[in-house]
């Protein structure tokens, strides 16, 4: 199934799998579902009996606070296993929400356990994937704690580009990111108004522009420098940055 290529690419980035392992992984992606934008793929407090793998679309993990404020905690692209942790951690301490229309695979926990038992290296790859999630969280903390809004936004675009290139969803310096400025504000811990102003500044500085849900990076080295971006924390190996 064509939709599993991103998922495979993600899992294999660090260590090639055997045909056997690859087949086993694709096999468990069987049952798929679609969600509309703004639907919850998995609500906070749920006790799911399956884990979710993103096949297409953009989703996020988020927490809702009193008075309806929301903080997005990570973005999830195709290939990401966004609630693998529900295998061991119940109930969900945060929600997973579709930001755009999404198709996902839902893998029963029992199936995950079985595949891990039979293919220990897949289990290791899964564990590794959750550890990289942790690394991305840490970087997000650094952004929110010590980077100005301008740098923070620039940094996210750098991260998105690299992650999307790694799974073949961006060529060159452009990629789809059909989020509203309100979504971005919830991700950055900023107000909508300020996100808007920062985006304008990034564009007029000739670094990135975002229009119609598509991001175009006009000056990768400049953006990278402005963002103090270094892709090490993504643990994706080489050949992942644009020329």
Partner DNA sequence: CGGTTGTTTGACGCAGTTCAAGCGGAGTGG
Partner DNA sequence: CCACTCCGCTTGAACTGCGTCAAACAACCG
Q: Which of 1, 23, 27, 89 binds its own copies (CB under 8 A)?
A: 89
Name every residue whose Cβ is closer than 8 Å to that of residue 52 and which is 6 or more positions away in sequence. 41, 42, 81, 82, 83, 96, 104, 105, 106, 107
Question: For residue 211, how many other CB atoms are within 10 A of its CB?
Answer: 9
95 to 124, contacts with its own copies by CB under 8 A?
A: 124
Binding mask 168-207 for its own copies (x = CB under 8 A): --------------------xx------------------
Three-state DSSP at 90 gives coil
Q: Which does 149 bind (CB under 5 to 8 A by kind): DNA, its own copies, none?
A: DNA
Q: Where are the alpha helices (DSSP H) in 147-205?
A: 149-166, 181-188, 192-204
176 membership: H or E segment, kind and range: strand 174-176
1 to 60, contacts with its own copies by CB under 8 A?
A: none
Asked if residue 212 binds DNA (CB under 7 A), the reply is yes
| Rounded distance between C-alpha atoms, residue 13 and residue 131, angstroms | 14
Q: Which does 93 bind (CB under 5 to 8 A by kind): DNA, its own copies, none?
A: its own copies
Peptide bond into 91 cis (omega under 30): yes
Q: Which does 150 bind (CB under 5 to 8 A by kind): DNA, its own copies, none?
A: DNA
209 to 238, contacts with its own copies by CB under 8 A?
A: 228, 232-233, 235
| Rounded distance between C-alpha atoms, residue 14 and residue 235, angstroms | 8
Binding mask 132-151 for its own copies (x = CB under 8 A): xxxx-xx-xxx-xxx-----
Name every residue whose Cβ is closer than 8 Å to that of residue 45 and which is 6 or more positions away in sequence. 91, 92
Report the residue number, 123 or 189, with the smaller CB distance to DNA. Answer: 189
The least CB distance from residue 112 to its own copies, in Å, is: 12
Using CB under 7 A as the criterion, which residues of the chain lie in contact with DNA when the complex forms?
148-150, 180-182, 189-194, 196-197, 199-200, 212
């Amino acid at each position: 199934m064509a939709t599993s290529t991103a998922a495979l690419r993600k899992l294999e980035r660090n260590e090639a799998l055997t045909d056997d392992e690859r087949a086993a992984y694709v096999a468990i992606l069987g049952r798929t579902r679609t969600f509309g934008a703004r639907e919850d793929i998995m609500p906070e407090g749920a006790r799911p009996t399956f884990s979710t793998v993103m096949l297409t679309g953009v989703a996020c993990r988020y927490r809702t606070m009193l008075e309806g404020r929301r903080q997005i905690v990570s973005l999830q692209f195709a290939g990401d296993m966004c609630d693998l942790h529900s295998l061991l951690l119940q109930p969900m301490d945060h929600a997973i929400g579709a930001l755009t229309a999404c198709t996902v695979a839902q893998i029963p926990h029992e199936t995950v356990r079985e595949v891990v038992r039979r293919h220990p290296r897949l289990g290791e790859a899964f564990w590794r994937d959750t550890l990289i999630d942790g690394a991305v969280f840490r970087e997000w903390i650094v952004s929110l704690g010590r980077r100005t809004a301008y740098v923070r936004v620039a940094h996210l675009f750098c991260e998105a580009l690299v992650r999307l290139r790694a799974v073949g969803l961006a060529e060159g310096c452009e990629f789809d990111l059909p989020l509203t400025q309100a979504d971005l504000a919830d991700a950055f811990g900023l107000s909508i108004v300020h996100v808007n102003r920062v985006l304008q500044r990034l564009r007029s500085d000739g670094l990135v522009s975002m229009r119609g849900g598509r991001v175009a990076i006009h000056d990768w080295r400049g953006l990278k420098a402005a963002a103090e971006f270094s892709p090490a924390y993504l643990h994706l190996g080489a050949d992942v940055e644009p020329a």
